[in-house]
Chains A and B, each alone.
Chain A
Amino acid sequence: MVRVMVVDDHPIWREGVARDLEERGVEVVATAPDGAAAVRIARAVRPDVVLMDLQLPELSGAEATAQVREALPDTQVLVLSASAEQGDVLGAVRAGATGYLTKSAAMEELVDAIGRTAEGQAVFSPGLAGLVLGEYRRRETEAPDEPQLTPRETEVLRLVAKGLTARAIAARLTLSHRTVENHVQNSLRKLQLTNRVELTRYAIERGLDVDE
């Protein structure tokens, strides 16, 4: 069973989501009301997935994400935010979150997203795809040295942003479902490369794997 931790500063919401998740057979091992507590508690309970709000007291959701990911590389972070602050979402994704849902997502969607996040897949809402596309467009002109999207990855992300499922994208581009997932995941991974070592490793991998 997937072990989840819910981080949100709003008690009604936090307890409500925790209860709903448990009713659907997801194990909620901890909750936390702010970013600092989230990092502390996560170190102790080692959840599989942290459900992270963005606007948190003490430590922002993005900073808490970065610290959780650094301390616990096996713990995945799924952002669940009521915030439409696009910059915050992008910040959390760059800090290592592998997915993003708004709080208006249906419960089935959330449970499904938690399952996929636990398996290490990227959970892309169309909104997140739009943000990630925008970030790479900005890079093209402002930071051409940083990793860019391949034309194929751009194509896939655009279809995600237009609401197509991975299966529909695979059918349209005549790719395998698995390849589509890989493209989506790579586009996130490249955003998360921040230090020189990671970038060098990425460059070497790309050099060895140019026919992608």
Chain B
Amino acid sequence: MTTADVSLRARAHPHLVPLWRGLVVYRVVALVAVLVNAVRFGGAWAHPALGIAVVVAMAVWTAVSSARYLRVGDPLTACLDLVLTVLATASTLLVDTPERVAAGGSVITTVWSAGPVLALAIALGWRGGLGGALVTITVLFGVRRALDADLLFDAQLLLVAGLAVGLAADTMRRSVEKLRAATALEAATAERERLARDIHDGVLQVLALVRRRGAELARVDQEAPALELARLAGEQEVALRRLITSAPVAGPDGTVDLSSRLAGVVPAHASLAVPAEPVMLPVAVVDELAAVVREAATNAAAHAGPDAGLWVLVEDDPAQVTVSLRDDGVGIPEGRLEQAAAEGHLGVAGSMRGRVQGLGGTIDLHTAPGEGTEWEIVVPRRRRSSWSA
């Protein structure tokens, strides 16, 4: 890959750059240790020429890999680093005499061999660090052929370094993602509030006025078109107000506000009574509750009669959330739902009941001919908030 290719590639995790810089510094310092070691013990090597070649190769690779780490920091380079470093470590068997190595002489790569362990830890997290450390330890053992105190000490250091750096990289990755999500949410909320203000100041006021003046015209002059105009403006006014408040308020841990979701679900003419504070529940629970409310509202629109009103109430308790729906339509005759179920129509009641039971909740229906229909849905909160404990 050419330099241009590398620089064009977007870095996946720019916040990990400080860790990569640390690794490069470590690698260069370790290379100095390798050189010192070669100067001190090179005279006793069986094949000094080969030893010098290996050390030069290590220096070149240090330069190449450092450049890659600083530009891209990809797992592939880290893996290649591990392979080359392991080969360099294994070359000790050819460079030095087996007797000297077994007697505790240092391997040619010395502390430089920890480089890929750190690189893998940064690129792949604690698993990468652990894997790199185990491979490096195995190769060290293969070269030294002795389970002595030195080897055990090296093994401990490699494991600790791999795991610690890996966990640090994982934490950094996670916190940056959280920060990114929070920033995006903040921007979206600010934009929504700006839009809501503009709409409130202009469009909503005019729509409300058209509705009111139209209704007055119709009252005074019996003008049917004006009444129609008023009705349309009124519907759009309510729909728009719902829209600007219904953008979901998202919480930090995968929860969303039930109230704002329901604002987008219940029909424009319905009343929606909710607490001032957002009712935060897991997304899956909110989705199911919204589906249940939609079914009940659709059912009410179909059966309650043309003039029936619909009221929805949301109550938030530490242990449970209650959603009540009431229409003042014709009601359902006693036994009608049971009859439908017996005839094999699962129908609205069955489907709603199934969803609510899936959430571990209960659903009750109160109805009688001429008395409308009242649903009460209670869903337990799985996790209690800390302040309510």
Enumerate chain A interface residues (CB-CB to B < 8 A).
Answer: 10, 12-13, 16-17, 20, 23, 55, 82-84, 86-87, 89-90, 102-104, 106-107, 125-131, 133-135, 137-138, 141-142, 158, 161-164
- Given contacts A10-B201, A13-B205, whether A134 and B216 have CB atoms under 8 Å apart is no
B216 touches A163 (CB 8 A): no
- Given contacts A55-B200, A84-B245, A141-B388, whether A134 and B274 have CB atoms under 8 Å apart is yes
B208 touches A13 (CB 8 A): yes
Give the complex CA separation of A104 and B238 in angstroms: 7
What chain A residues lie within 8 Å of B273 (beta carbons)? 126-131, 133, 161-162
Give the complex CA separation of A87 and B387 in angstroms: 21
B313 touches A130 (CB 8 A): yes
6 A-B pairs with C-beta separation under 8 A: A103-B204, A104-B208, A134-B316, A138-B275, A141-B318, A161-B313
A151 CB to nearest chain B CB (Å): 14
Tell me if B111 is interfacial: C-beta within 8 Å of chain A: no
- Given contacts A16-B213, A107-B212, A158-B324, whether A163 and B315 have CB atoms under 8 Å apart is no
Contact with A along B208-223 (1 / 0, CB 8 A): 1101110110000000
Give the complex CA separation of A145 and B60 in angstroms: 74
In the complex formed, the residue of B with least CB distance to A88 is B276
What chain B residues lie within 8 Å of A12 (beta carbons)? 205-206, 209
B216 touches A107 (CB 8 A): yes
Tell me if B237 is interfacial: C-beta within 8 Å of chain A: yes
A20 touches B208 (CB 8 A): no
Contact with A along B226-261 (1 / 0, CB 8 A): 000000001001100110110000000000000000
What chain B residues lie within 8 Å of A142 (beta carbons)? 387
Give the complex CA separation of A74 and B339 in angstroms: 58
Main secondary structure of the interface of A (DSSP, over half): helix
What chain B residues lie within 8 Å of A102 (beta carbons)? 241
B245 CB to nearest chain A CB (Å): 4
B221 CB to nearest chain A CB (Å): 13
Give the complex CA separation of A200 and B277 in angstroms: 28
Give the complex CA separation of A33 and B163 in angstroms: 65
In the complex formed, the residue of A with least CB distance to B208 is A103
Instruction: Specify which of B205, B208, B271 is in contact with A125 (CB 8 Å cutoff).
Output: B271
Give the complex CA separation of A126 and B328 in angstroms: 14
Give the complex CA separation of A211 and B273 in angstroms: 30
B209 touches A163 (CB 8 A): no
Interface size on B, residues (CB 8 A): 40
Give the complex CA separation of A153 and B309 in angstroms: 24
Give the complex CA separation of A163 and B270 in angstroms: 10
Give the complex CA separation of A131 and B273 in angstroms: 7
What chain B residues lie within 8 Å of A134 (beta carbons)? 274-277, 315-316
What chain B residues lie within 8 Å of A162 (beta carbons)? 273, 311, 313, 324, 326, 374
What chain A residues lie within 8 Å of B271 (beta carbons)? 125-127, 163
Give the complex CA separation of A49 and B275 in angstroms: 27
B387 touches A130 (CB 8 A): no
In the complex formed, the residue of A with least CB distance to B385 is A141
What chain B residues lie within 8 Å of A84 (beta carbons)? 241-242, 244-245
B227 CB to nearest chain A CB (Å): 12
What chain B residues lie within 8 Å of A137 (beta carbons)? 275, 315-317
Give the complex CA separation of A87 and B309 in angstroms: 26
In the complex formed, the residue of A with least CB distance to B274 is A130
In the complex formed, the residue of A with least CB distance to B268 is A104
B234 touches A20 (CB 8 A): no
Give the complex CA separation of A82 and B209 in angstroms: 11
In the complex formed, the residue of B with least CB distance to A138 is B277
What chain A residues lie within 8 Å of B318 (beta carbons)? 141
- Taking A90-B276, A130-B272 as known contacts, 16 extra A-B pairs with beta carbons closer than 8 A to each other, sorted by chain A number, are A10-B205, A20-B213, A23-B216, A86-B274, A103-B204, A127-B274, A129-B313, A130-B313, A130-B314, A131-B275, A134-B275, A135-B276, A161-B311, A161-B313, A162-B311, A164-B326
A131 touches B326 (CB 8 A): no
In the complex formed, the residue of A with least CB distance to B245 is A84
Instruction: Specify which of B234, B245, B311 is in contact with A126 (CB 8 Å cutoff).
Output: B311
What chain B residues lie within 8 Å of A127 (beta carbons)? 271-274
B213 CB to nearest chain A CB (Å): 7
B13 CB to nearest chain A CB (Å): 39
A103 CB to nearest chain B CB (Å): 5
A106 touches B387 (CB 8 A): no
In the complex formed, the residue of A with least CB distance to B374 is A162
- Given contacts A10-B205, A20-B212, A104-B211, whether A158 and B313 have CB atoms under 8 Å apart is yes
What chain A residues lie within 8 Å of B204 (beta carbons)? 82, 103
Give the complex CA separation of A203 and B67 in angstroms: 75
What chain B residues lie within 8 Å of A131 (beta carbons)? 273-276
Give the complex CA separation of A162 and B92 in angstroms: 83
Instruction: Specify which of B209, B313, B374 is in contact with A13 (CB 8 Å cutoff).
Output: B209
A161 CB to nearest chain B CB (Å): 4
What chain B residues lie within 8 Å of A128 (beta carbons)? 273
Contact with A along B369-389 (1 / 0, CB 8 A): 000001000000000000110
In the complex formed, the residue of B with least CB distance to A81 is B200
In the complex formed, the residue of B with least CB distance to A82 is B204
Give the complex CA separation of A130 and B322 in angstroms: 12
Give the complex CA separation of A87 and B200 in angstroms: 16
Give the complex CA separation of A158 and B275 in angstroms: 12
